[in-house]
Amino acid sequence: MPAKEFGGKTIEVDDEGFLVNREDWNEDIAAAIAKEEGLPELTEQHWKVIHFMQKEFQEKGTAPSIRRLKNTGGIPIKELYALFPNGPAKKAAKIAGLPKPMGCV
């Protein structure tokens, strides 16, 4: 299994860079992953999406799709793409320490 270093801590990731162990996640790790994904700063709106995704994962056992983010999370698609360009559900899940959502390429 590959590993990455975030803030001086070595973390196991899969071949696409998603955390292998959710227990490794914390907000500092999220910020480091976000920077790696081209997001220099996580705003309050980013955290709203991240925490929604984590809650959904905890309740349902899977990371929510972009459709679920829009419909249940109440975040318009345009805003999701503005917050997490080039694949909002996949990028947000990675930053949230979750597995890749089903249906994401």
CATH number at residue 27: 1.10.10.370
Q: What's the pLDDT score for residue 90?
A: 92
Active site includes 14? no
For residue 77, is it within any domain? yes
State pLDDT tens for residues 45-58.
999 999 999 999 99
Q: What's the pLDDT score for residue 100?
A: 86
- Identify whether the C-beta of residue 100 lies closer than 8 Å to the C-beta of residue 93: yes
* Sequence-ordered alpha helix ranges (H) in 1-105: 27-36, 44-60, 66-71, 77-83, 88-95
- Identify whether the C-beta of residue 62 lies closer than 8 Å to the C-beta of residue 69: no
Catalytic residue among 4, 20, 24, 104: 104
State pLDDT tens for residues 14-45.
999 999 999 999 999 999 999 999 999 999 99
> What pTM was estimated for this model as a whole?
0.91
Domains contained in the chain, number:
1
For residue 105, is it within any domain? no
CA–CA distance, 52 with 27 (Å, rounded to integer): 14
For residue 48, is it within any domain? yes
